[in-house]
Amino acid sequence: MMKNNHERLPMRLLFVGDVMLGRLVNKALEHLRPEYPWGDTLPLFQQAHVRICNLECAMTDWGTPWSLFPKVFHFRSDAKNVAVLNAAQIDVVSLANNHSLDFDYEGLIHTMNNLAAVGIHYSGAGHNTREASTPAIWETNGTKLALIALTDNEPAWEATEEQAGVFYVPINLHDKRTELLLELTSKTKESVDLLIVSAHWGPNWGFAPPADHLPFAHALIDAGADIIFGHSGHVVRGVELYKAHPILYCTGDFIDDYAVDQVERNDLSFIFIVETEGQKITRLLLYPTVIKNFQARRAPGQEREAIVTTMQRLCTNLNTSTTWNEQEERLEVQITG
C-alpha cells in the first residue's frame, strides 16, 4: 500500500553516467584509496539521499574476456573495488549495458554477487530474462523507489529463459519487448512512489538525442516512469521536461580512462540531482564535472564554462529553461513552482 504524502520527506536523488573502473583505473586502484575516483565530488554524494550510476564494467576477479563475437574493449575491475562504489554510498547501479558481460557469463554472475554482498542494488541483468527485467526496489526516507534498467546495445547478450544476460529492449515502440517494458513500468509504478527507468541506449557521440528516443521516453513516462536516466553516448545530451518529469537523455561519462575527443569533450559531464517533495519532482540541479587522472572533479574555469554553455544550448533545443547559479556553481531547472 502506498504511503500518505505527509509521510514522504523531501528527497535528493543523485545521478551520474558511466562509471568505468577497469583498465588503467583498476591499475591505479591497486595503490589508491577507494575514495580517490570520486575526487572533490564526494560532498555532493554525501548530501544526497539516493545515488545511482551506470556501472560500465564487470567487477570480478574471475572470467575470461568475451570471445563469442568480436569486441574491441573489455572492462574489468577487481572485486575489491566494490569499495569504490561504497565510498560514494552508491545505492543502486544499472547493469544493462554493453560491458556487463565483457568477462563472459561467469564475470557477470560474480559482478552481481559482489554487488549484493555489500548491499548495492542492481537492475538490468540476471541469470535469465525474468531476473534481468526485475526492478530494483528499496526504501529511503519513507519513500519507496524502483529502478528498471534496459539497453538496446549488444542484442546477442539478451537474457533468455535459459541464458543469463541483460534486459535488452530495442528502441522501437512497435516491438513486443517494448510492449512488455511498458507493461512492467505500469505495474511497478502501482507499488512504488518514485520509478526511475535507466536506458543505456543509442550510438556513441552526438549531442542531439536520436529522434526515436523522444517518443520512447515519453511513452515510458506515460506508462508511469517518473525519471528517465539515459547514458551510453559518452557525451551529455540535453534535458527535456515531459509532463513535469525530467528526461536525462544522456548523462555522459563520469569516471574512466578514455582518450578525450577534443571536439565532443567526453571528459566533461555533470552530477545530476533531482529534488522531490512527496511524489512531486520540483527541481533539477546540474553540477559541472571533469575527469582528470582517473578521477571525477568539479569542473573549473573554462572547462566549467564550456560544458555549461553546451548544456544550456542543448536544453534550449528541447524547450527546457535553465538558470546558472553562480554562487553554487550549478545549473538549475525549475520543474514545479
Average pLDDT (107-124) is: 98
pLDDT band at 160 (very low <50, low <70, confident <90, very high): very high
Half-sphere exposure of 94 (CA within 13 A, CB side): 32
Q: How confident is the model at residue 69 (pLDDT cuts 50, 70, 90)?
A: confident
3-state secondary structure (DSSP) of residue 155:
helix
Predicted TM-score (pTM) above 0.85: yes
- What is the structure's pLDDT at 4? 45
Q: Distance between CA 141 and CA 220 in Å, rounded?
A: 25
Provide the 8-state DSSP code for 180.
H
The closest alpha carbon to 216, from 204, 203, 202, belongs to 202
Q: Please list the residues that pair with 14 across neighbouring strands.
A: 51, 273
Q: What is the pLDDT of residue 70?
A: 86
Asked whether 18 and 253 are in contact (CB, 8 A), the reply is: yes
User: Among residues 266, 241, 262, which one has the least CA distance to residue 251?
Assistant: 266
d(CA 236, CA 257): 17
CA torsion sign, 19 to 298 to 302 to 295? negative
Q: What is the pLDDT of residues 8-49, one digit of tens each?
A: 789 999 999 999 999 999 999 999 999 999 999 999 999 999
Give the integer Cα–Cα distance in Å for 41 and 36: 10
Residue 248 predicted with pLDDT over 80: yes
Which domains can be identified in the chain, with CATH numbers? 5-334 (3.60.21.10)
Q: Any idea which residue has 511524489 for its cell?
A: 279
What confidence score (pLDDT) does residue 278 get? 81
pLDDT digits (tens, 9 = 90+) for 127-147: 999 999 999 999 999 999 999
Residue 36: its pLDDT value, please? 98
Question: What is the average pLDDT across 61-79?
Answer: 93
